[in-house]
Amino acid sequence: MKWIISLLIMTALLASCESPLQAPAKESNDEQSSEDELDGNKQDSQGSSVDENKSNDTTSTQLLDQPKTVVDQLESPWDIVKNGEEFYITERAGTIVHFDGESAERQSLQLEREVASGQGEEGLLGMVLDPDDEEKAYIYHTYQTADGLFNRIVAIELDDRKWKETGVLVDEIPGGRIHDGGRLAIGPNGYLFATTGDAGNDQLSQDTDSLAGKILRMNLDGSIPDDQPFKGSLVYSYGHRNPQGLTWNENGELYSSEHGSSAYDEINHIEPGNNYGWPVIRGDETEKNMKAPTIHSGEETWAPSGSAFDDSGNLLVTGLAGQSLYRFDVESGNEEVLLENHGRLRDILVANGEIYVLTNNTDGRGNPDESDDLLLKIAE
């Protein structure tokens, strides 16, 4: 069934009793980052969005000639979650958009600490549903204190179309206007993983006593697994700048996509206890006891965010500055563009042979159309 659903703001607000949200102002960052850059403008989405010179063969998944709009009028969206025919989409200002296959509404969050969402990268970021209860979930969000910005991971539960905090898994993750990480994912063995950024302080990435610039692993109650590489610590890997993608291949191997500094974005094969080098090495540079990336962008930038393996075993990664969906062969390093002309792409979801991407043009760094932002279906 072809879905072309408009997320009508007033209808959603009446359904969820929410007040109107204001679009974030355009950011002026103190530090240049691969995510900050704009490599070209969004083009007319009515034209073909798939490079005609590239193969559309994804083994068991067929790319659509023209992407289908599933939901529009999203505001600074960040993460896509799918449960059956339903979607949940986080928006950085602190709301969760629910789409039931026919209509969409904004659902509010009731948290012990208010979501901090300003002109930077902070806000409501990652979300993942509890594998045993579809009305429970985990979120990653930024909050403000007198001492500055921090991030936390909390459990939430759906109650009368509102999400309410039920527990804190991790608190006081260093945060900032830039480099907050934010991706959550539950791995094949049932552990919860989270990416954290260096919060603009690159020295924290090499400090295994800090939660910044890391990939964390925990039980679903926030406790520390017995087989962690650093005893008594949630740290699973370190030496990261601003990782925002987490995904596993069919062999259960973990890969992450990570923002470089204006260039040298990375795809990393994550193994427990490894040091991925930031800020000491980048690109093909080497240093004892540090891991170079599996793939990097060299002097160019993708500004990679969400990532997922497709049915043929290739890694799909969304690009913000690159404004494209990239497909990588992690064995050979080959790269190709599958989708472009829709502006900044924030997240990707592969589910049952279908592929969805989330645009991110309303965050103050893009060039939004009246319908932005969009959840697009690009393959089935």
What is the per-residue pLDDT across 186-199, written as a single tens digit (0 to 9) for each?
A: 999 999 999 999 99
Domain membership flag for residue 26: no
> Which are the contacts of 87, defined by CB distance < 8 A and separation ≥ 6?
70, 71, 80, 81, 97, 98, 99, 356, 375
CA–CA distances in Å: residue 101 to residues 87, 88, 247, 374: 8, 11, 25, 15
Count of structural domains within the chain: 1
Q: What is the pLDDT of residue 14?
A: 37
Angstrom distance (rounded) from CA 141 to CA 34: 22
Domain membership flag for residue 129: yes
Domain membership flag for residue 24: no
What's at 241, amino acid-wise? R
Domain membership flag for residue 90: yes
pLDDT tens profile 242-297:
999 999 999 999 999 999 998 999 999 999 999 999 999 999 999 999 999 999 99
Angstrom distance (rounded) from CA 315 to CA 330: 7
Domain membership flag for residue 280: yes
Q: What is the pLDDT of residue 62?
A: 81
What's at 133, amino acid-wise? D
The average confidence (pLDDT) of the chain is 88
pLDDT tens profile 18-46:
433 333 333 334 344 556 543 434 544 33
CA–CA distances in Å: residue 319 to residues 225, 227, 265, 290, 339: 33, 34, 10, 26, 10
* Enclosing domain of residue 261: 9-15+35-349+368-379
Alpha carbon 358 to its chain's center: 10
Q: What is the pLDDT of residue 285?
A: 98
pLDDT tens profile 299-354:
999 999 999 999 999 999 999 999 999 999 999 999 999 999 999 999 999 999 99
Q: What is the pLDDT of residue 61?
A: 67
CB 153 within 8 A of CB 185: no
pLDDT tens profile 145-181:
999 999 999 999 999 999 999 999 999 999 999 999 9
Q: What is the pLDDT of residue 118?
A: 84
Domain membership flag for residue 271: yes
Answer whether residue 103 shows pLDDT above 90: yes
pLDDT tens profile 66-75:
999 999 999 9
Domain membership flag for residue 262: yes
Domain membership flag for residue 358: no
> Which are the contacts of 256, defined by CB distance < 8 A and separation ≥ 6?
195, 215, 240, 243, 245, 246, 247, 267, 268, 270, 307
Q: What is the CATH number of the domain that holds 74?
A: 2.120.10.30
| Least confident window among 19-33, 96-110, 199-213 | 19-33
Angstrom distance (rounded) from CA 125 to CA 136: 17
- Write a three-state SS string for the chain: CCCCECCCHHHHHHHHCCCCCCCCCCCCCCCCCCCCCCCCCCCCCCCCCCCCCCCCEECCEEEEEEEEEEECCCCCEEEEEEECCEEEEEECCCEEEEECCCCEEEECEECCCCCCCCCCCCCEEEEEEECCEEEEEEEEEEEEECCEEEEEEEEEEEECCEEEEEEEEEEEEECCCCCCCCCEEECCCCCEEEECCCCCCHHHHHCCCCCCCEEEEECCCCCCCCCCCCCCCCEEEECCCCEEEEEECCCCCEEEEECCCCCCCEEEEECCCCECCCCCCCCCCCCCCCCCCCEECCCCCCCEEEEEECCCCCEEEEECCCCEEEEECCCCCCEEEEEECCCCEEEEEEECCEEEEEECCCCCCCCCCCCCCCEEEEEC
Angstrom distance (rounded) from CA 368 to CA 20: 18
